[in-house]
């Protein structure tokens, strides 16, 4: 694109006179046309091509051509000469292409074009007459000549060494234009028109009714006669050229721009034969300013390191930074403000690299010497100011000050190196080794000093990391002087003491036989010290030559003593893994203290302590033989061996004897506490049926504790006496109406075995105290379980005899009976002849009205009343005392003597309510599959009752008791035990009114329960007596 700022060209119109020999005379419009604005319908014509793409902003130039205006003279009588043998060529200069669709041709008549003196008229004055538009049409438009021009298009292509021209028909052009629209490419190139006289002589005129062709080379009639439509040869022609997207650079020069070029004209003009050289009709004439004033606005921002004022270093590359172009410079105006939107980001990038912003300068100052930041100084604030650059048209700092069409500005942001500080630390320590010269054997533990720390602050260049300055070292302390240990039989050779640091010999410390001197460091020494260095000092000891001397010995032994018998119990030398004791180091002087190799005695003591022994003191002599009198550790009476060594020790060697010592031990012990507890529960049950008839009693726990002392050597234990927290208190037996306690049957068990800790009786369970022996035998957390059985008081009135108690109709054919041989004759019937008089009649005077029949623990929620676990296998089927659970219900031992068959003492609150609900449902008895449901005991599905065993009152729901445990009115019917019709409870005519439900006459649940039990007993062959209706 030819720069960005365009000024309207100043057109200098032609005012010359017409030339008879000039066929065409043209010029361009002073204003360019906009494709986007659809000037001259350009956007519509070119839509789809590259010229109409978004952002293209393409321009067009309009050319005007005066065709065959003739010669000067009396315009009213001027007859234009015919164009004989004319050969005409027009070309458009490079950078533009003709848009044939824009060609317009108007016939021109005198005096609309030429003044009397032959000068051309101002087009601004005559155009309205030439391009007259009325009633929706151009009056003087000549479409035939328009098409004639479109049919004579040419395309000229020029290479470096050659130029060629070809014709392009109108049809070909339209095809190529459609292709450009389809592909979005540039419109097809058209840059010329060519024709000659013979072409003009045969042009079809559309306005001719006869459709004939006419000769456009001649005018017909007076040129001022506007009625003449054709043939005609004077025209005013308009056409547009599309300017290239990248216009030729030459157009920016004065006098340059798009132009139309005419070839030299040849031909006979009225027979005179004059010729005219080629002509060029430029857009601008005689030193115009070119097609555009291309004002070049450029602004650039650079970056420089001015740390060294004598040598500026460019920062235009590296650190992610590069020069910036001004924002919007391509569309800038003179007063557009210069800004650089990315400057802040570049400053941040340089800041990360260690640079500090100090100001801005005019110009590109990325080399040479630094004077100052003349645009603005920021050496104190370090703040960037983006409003200091001025405008693009400011001439004061234009680097192209001699060129009024180029404004170039540059600026430089200046930076210096920042600094950073860090703390540097060093440490030094000292080790001193004491070795035997020659063998390097360590004779004494190494000395390790504490660490001395040095620190200083280092200031570095934040860009190069070079050290700028440092502070002096601060010192935390010094390496202290250390005295050399005195080692028996060794002497130090001070000349051979070595001192090294990192393997190099140093002389920081003053060394001598007495010790190693303290070390302090000056600044220069610290600077040379390695971090974490260790000064290693080695003090060699030389073994002294041994003079003739005596050797003295000593020993130590280990023994176990019994303080009770005051005797030695055992020689422990072997236990201590020191057979025959431990020998002391050999002594050589009686003034020399007895010593043992370090750790040997201590290790033996530790071994014995691990076996459970406890040191109690030291005796002189070898006192390890068992049975030896224990002297009470006369030499030292304390079990702390370290204190013994510090406070007394073994004394000196003897020249006359070998001193021996015995370390005395006793068995160590540990103590622990053993705890036990005991509690008591008392259950109150019905002796016959085993059900709980009163809330059980649970006592508080009584606890016992004693101390257990355990011998750590042999594991033997010694026990103290038991401490007792209390007793189990006496508990009075509850009085239960109509029950009597049988004290002989009270049971007392602990852990399943019978015990007799408590005094039991009908009145109470006595308190329980325990002696030491008893406590020893108690289990931990034991529970003494006492069961107090209650016997139901029975008062028979006049028991009735069942009609046929022992001969049921079909007693041996239940749902799945076992068909006993003699189902109606029990094995041992006691009173078959008179079944109505059992030993204990089952019909007491008021058996159905117990004192408290409605207070069961959970009367309405028996454990599982409707789903007996094993309804056909009662727990104790052979016990008549509990007739509801016989093992073999068809052969009870005493089937006719049930203790209390019909007495529902607490029918609604049995601890295990499923016991009475399964009296008639043994596995293979005479009872049906589900006859044991207590809700409706008299209506089993297939009962064994002979009279109507299969049609009880409600036989269809034997397993779903409505209220099996709610004996609100537990009265029994008048004849609850009559086995004649045990299942015919549909007519309880002998039932007390208190057993009937209001309004319905239905039997209450208590009555049904009693009747069911009676029916069951009668089925088993028990004789039941009748009780009177109260």
Indicate the pLDDT class of residue 917, thresholds 50, 70 and 90.
very low
Q: Residue range 956-964: average pLDDT?
A: 40
Place 111 in a pLDDT band, splitting at 50, 70 and 90: low
Neighbours of 476 (CB within 10 A): 12
pLDDT at 750 over 60: yes
The answer to whether residue 389 scores a pLDDT higher than 50 is yes
- pLDDT category at 881 given cuts 50, 70, 90 is very low
Looking at residue 300, its pLDDT comes to: 95
Q: What is the pLDDT of residues 394-451, one digit of tens each?
A: 877 777 666 555 788 999 999 999 999 999 999 999 999 999 999 999 999 999 999 9
CA gap 351, 372 in Å, rounded: 20
pLDDT-wise least confident of 27-31, 179-183, 484-488, 903-907: 903-907
Spatial separation of the C-alpha atoms in residues 281 and 307, rounded to whole Å: 62
pLDDT at 742: 87
Model confidence band, residue 214 (pLDDT cutoffs 50, 70, 90): low
Give the pLDDT score at 818: 45
Q: 687 or 264: which carries more pLDDT confidence?
A: 687
Per residue in 525-536, pLDDT (tens digit) is 999 999 999 999
Q: Model confidence at 659, in pLDDT bands (50, 70, 90)?
A: very high
For the cut 90, the answer to whether the pLDDT of residue 554 exceeds it is yes
Task: Tokens for 785, please give them.
Answer: 């379980």
Of 204-213, 318-327, 350-359, 771-780, the least confident: 204-213
Dihedral of the alpha carbons of 638, 642, 648, 651, in degrees to the nearest 10: 120
Q: What is the pLDDT of residue 80?
A: 52
Whether the pLDDT of residue 856 is over 80: the answer is: no
Nearest to 976 by CA among 933, 930, 1016, 935: 1016
Q: What is the pLDDT of residues 703-734, one digit of tens each?
A: 999 999 999 999 999 999 999 989 999 999 99
Please name which of 566, 565, 511, 517 lies closest in space to residue 540, comparing C-alpha atoms.
Answer: 511
248-252, 724-728, 962-966, range with greatest mean pLDDT: 724-728
Task: Kindly indicate the confidence band of residue 669, based on its pLDDT and cuts at 50, 70 and 90.
Answer: very high
| Per-residue pLDDT, 174 | 94
Q: Which of 386, 298, 373 is nearest to 344 (CA)?
A: 386
| Exposure of 938 in the CB half-sphere (CA atoms within 13 A) | 31
**Nearest CA among 687, 680, 643, 635 for reference residue 659:** 635
Model confidence at 769, pLDDT cuts 50, 70, 90, reads: very high
pLDDT score recorded for residue 110? 65
User: What digits encode the pLDDT tens for the residues 58-93?
Assistant: 989 888 888 777 653 344 444 455 554 456 777 888
Q: Residue 681: left if φ>0, alpha if ψ -120 to 50, beta else—which one?
A: beta
**What length does the chain have?**
1030
pLDDT at residue 232, rounded to an integer: 66
pLDDT tens column, 180-190:
999 999 999 99
DSSP 391: B
- Of residues 952 and 98, more confidence is placed in 98
Q: Does residue 867 or residue 506 have the better pLDDT?
A: 506
Q: Distance between CA 665 and CA 667 in Å, rounded?
A: 7
pLDDT at residue 857 tops 60: no
User: What's the pLDDT at 142?
Assistant: 84
Give residue 230's pLDDT: 54
pLDDT value of residue 135:
86
Query: Is residue 866 predicted with pLDDT exceeding 70?
Result: no
Indicate if the pLDDT at residue 886 is higher than 80: no
* Cα 987 from Cα 174, distance rounded (Å): 121
Q: Of 921, 881, 916, whose CA–CA distance to 1022 is shortest?
A: 881
Of residues 592 and 879, the one with the higher pLDDT is 592
At 174, which helix (H) or strand (E)?
helix 170-183
Lowest mean pLDDT among 71-75, 569-573, 937-941: 937-941
pLDDT band at 1029 (very low <50, low <70, confident <90, very high): very low
- Give the helix/strand (H/E) hosting 525: helix 523-528
Q: In this structure, how many other beta carbons lie within 10 angstroms of the beta carbon of residue 580? A: 11
- Predicted confidence at residue 104, as pLDDT, reads 93
Question: pLDDT over 90 for what percent of the chain?
Answer: 45
With 70 as the cut, is the pLDDT of residue 1007 above it? no
pLDDT at 1011: 30
Structure tokens at 589: 């002087």
> What confidence tier does 477 reach under pLDDT thresholds 50, 70, 90?
confident
Q: What is the mean pLDDT of residues 386-394?
A: 90
Q: Which residue did the predictor score with more confidence, 197 or 629?
A: 629
Please tell me which residue, 1001 or 128, carries the higher pLDDT value.
128
Strands 406-417 and 296-305 turn out to be parallel
Q: How many CB atoms lie within 10 A of CB 822?
A: 14
What pLDDT, on a 0 to 100 scale, did the predictor assign at position 413? 97
Rounded to the nearest 10°, the torsion over CA 907, 908, 912, 916 is: 40
User: Which structural domains are found in the chain, ordered by start?
Assistant: 27-282 (no CATH), 296-401 (no CATH), 424-452+477-543 (2.60.40), 555-667 (no CATH), 670-792 (2.60.40.4300), 795-1030 (no CATH)
Using DSSP's 3-state secondary structure scheme, residue 1009 falls into helix
- The mean pLDDT value for 278-307 works out to 61
Mean pLDDT (the chain) is 74
Highest mean pLDDT (candidates 388-397, 829-838, 929-938): 388-397
Tens-place pLDDT, residues 319-353: 889 999 999 887 787 788 999 999 999 999 999 99
The tens digit of pLDDT for each residue in 159-179 reads: 767 888 899 999 999 999 999
Furthest-apart CA atoms within the chain: distance in Å: 180
Segment 104-120 shows an average pLDDT of 75
Residue 984 has pLDDT above 90, yes or no: no
For residues 884 and 874, the answer to whether their CB atoms sit within 8 Å is yes
């Amino acid at each position: 694109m030819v720069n960005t700022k365009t000024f309207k060209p100043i057109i200098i119109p032609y005012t010359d006179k017409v030339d008879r020999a000039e066929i065409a005379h043209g010029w361009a419009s002073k204003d360019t046309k906009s494709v986007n604005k659809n000037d001259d319908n350009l956007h519509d014509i070119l839509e789809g091509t590259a010229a109409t793409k978004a952002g293209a902003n393409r321009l067009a130039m309009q050319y005007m051509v005066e065709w065959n205006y003739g010669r000067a003279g009396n315009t009213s009588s001027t007859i234009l000469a015919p164009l004989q043998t004319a050969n005409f060529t027009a070309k458009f200069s490079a950078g533009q292409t003709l848009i044939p669709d824009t060609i317009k041709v108007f016939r021109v008549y005198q005096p609309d074009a030429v003044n009397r003196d032959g000068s051309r008229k101002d087009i601004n004055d005559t155009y309205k007459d030439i391009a007259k538009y009325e009633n929706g049409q151009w009056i003087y438009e000549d479409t035939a000549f328009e098409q004639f021009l479109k049919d004579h298009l040419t395309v000229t292509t020029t290479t470096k060494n050659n130029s060629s021209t070809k014709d392009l028909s109108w049809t070909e052009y339209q095809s190529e234009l459609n292709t450009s629209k389809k592909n979005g490419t540039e419109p097809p190139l058209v840059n010329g028109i060519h024709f000659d006289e013979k072409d003009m002589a045969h042009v079809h005129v559309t306005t001719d009714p006869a459709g004939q062709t006419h000769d456009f080379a001649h005018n017909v009639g007076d040129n001022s006669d506007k009625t003449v439509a054709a043939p005609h040869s004077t025209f005013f022609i308009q056409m547009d050229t599309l300017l290239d997207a990248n216009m030729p650079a030459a157009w920016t020069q004065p006098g340059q721009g798009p132009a139309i070029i005419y070839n030299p004209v040849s031909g006979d003009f009225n027979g005179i034969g004059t010729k005219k050289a080629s002509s060029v009709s430029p857009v601008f004439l005689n030193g115009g300013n070119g097609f555009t004033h291309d004002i070049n606005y450029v602004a650039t921002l650079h970056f420089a390191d001015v740390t060294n004022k004598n040598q500026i270093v460019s920062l235009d590359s590296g650190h992610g930074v590069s020069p910036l172009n001004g924002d919007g410079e391509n569309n800038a105006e003179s007063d557009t403000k210069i800004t650089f939107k990315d400057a802040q980001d570049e400053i941040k990038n340089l800041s990360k690299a260690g640079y500090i912003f100090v100001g801005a300068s005019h110009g590109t100052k990325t080399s040479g010497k630094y004077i100052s930041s003349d645009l603005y100084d920021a050496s104190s604030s370090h703040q960037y100011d983006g409003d200091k650059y001025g405008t693009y048209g400011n001439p004061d700092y234009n680097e192209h000050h001699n060129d009024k069409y180029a404004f170039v500005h540059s600026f430089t942001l200046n930076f210096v190196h920042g600094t950073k500080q860090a703390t540097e630390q060093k440490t030094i320590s000292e080790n001193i080794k004491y070795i035997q010269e020659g063998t390097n054997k360590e004779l004494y533990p190494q000395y390790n000093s504490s660490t001395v720390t040095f620190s200083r602050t280092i200031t570095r260049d934040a860009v190069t990391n070079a050290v700028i300055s440092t502070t002096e070292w601060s010192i935390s302390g010094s390496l202290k002087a250390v005295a050399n240990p005195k080692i028996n039989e060794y002497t130090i050779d001070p000349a051979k003491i070595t001192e090294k640091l990192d393997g190099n010999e140093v002389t920081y410390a003053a060394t001598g036989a007495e010790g190693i001197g303290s070390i302090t460091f000056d600044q220069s020494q610290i600077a040379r010290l390695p971090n974490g260095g260790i000064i290693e000092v080695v003090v060699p000891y030389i073994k002294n030559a041994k003079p003739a001397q005596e050797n003295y010995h000593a020993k130590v032994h280990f023994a176990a003593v019994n303080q009770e018998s005051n005797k030695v119990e055992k020689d422990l030398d072997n236990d201590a893994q020191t057979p025959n004791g431990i020998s002391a180091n050999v002594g050589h002087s009686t003034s020399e203290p007895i010593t043992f190799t370090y750790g040997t005695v201590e290790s033996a003591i530790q071994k014995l302590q691990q076996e459970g022994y406890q040191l109690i003191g030291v005796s002189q002599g070898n006192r390890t033989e068992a049975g030896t009198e224990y002297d009470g550790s006369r030499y030292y009476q304390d079990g702390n061996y370290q204190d013994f060594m510090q406070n007394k020790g073994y004394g000196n060697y003897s020249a006359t004897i070998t001193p021996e010592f015995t370390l005395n031990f006793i068995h160590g012990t540990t103590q622990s506490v053993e705890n036990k507890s005991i509690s008591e529960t008392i259950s109150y049950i019905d002796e016959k049926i085993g059900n709980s008839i009163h809330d059980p009693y649970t006592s508080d726990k009584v606890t016992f504790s004693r101390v257990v002392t355990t011998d750590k050597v042999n594991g033997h234990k010694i026990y103290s006496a038991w401490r007792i927290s209390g007793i189990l208190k006496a508990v009075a037996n509850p009085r239960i109406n109509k029950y009597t306690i049988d004290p002989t049957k009270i049971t007392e068990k602990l852990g399943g075995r019978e015990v007799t800790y408590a005094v039991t009786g009908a009145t109470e369970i006595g308190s329980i105290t325990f002696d030491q022996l008893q406590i020893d035998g108690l289990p931990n957390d034991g529970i003494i379980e006492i069961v107090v059985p209650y016997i139901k008081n029975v008062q028979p009135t006049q028991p009735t005899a069942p009609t046929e108690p022992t001969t049921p109709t079909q007693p041996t054919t239940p749902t799945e009976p076992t068909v006993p041989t003699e189902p109606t004759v029990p094995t041992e019937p006691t009173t078959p002849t008179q079944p109505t008089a059992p030993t204990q009649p089952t019909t007491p005077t008021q058996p159905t009205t117990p004192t408290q029949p409605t207070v069961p623990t959970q009367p309405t929620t028996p454990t599982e009343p409707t789903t007996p676990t094993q309804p056909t296998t009662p727990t104790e089927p052979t016990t008549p005392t509990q007739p509801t659970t016989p093992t073999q219900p068809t052969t009870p031992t005493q089937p006719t003597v049930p203790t209390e068959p019909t007495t529902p003492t607490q029918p609604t609150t049995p601890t295990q309510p499923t016991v009475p609900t399964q009296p008639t449902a043994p596995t293979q008895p005479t009872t049906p599959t589900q006859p044991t449901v207590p809700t409706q005991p008299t209506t089993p599905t297939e009962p064994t009752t002979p009279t109507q065993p299969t049609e009880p009152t409600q036989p269809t729901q034997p397993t779903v008791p409505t209220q099996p445990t709610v004996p609100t009115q537990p009265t029994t019917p008048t004849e609850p035990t009559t086995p004649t019709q045990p299942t015919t409870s549909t007519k309880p005519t002998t039932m007390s009114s208190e057993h009937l439900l209001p309004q319905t006459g239905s039997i209450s649940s208590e009555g049904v329960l009693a009747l069911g039990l009676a029916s069951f007993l009668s089925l088993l062959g028990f004789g039941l007596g009748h009780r009177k209706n109260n």
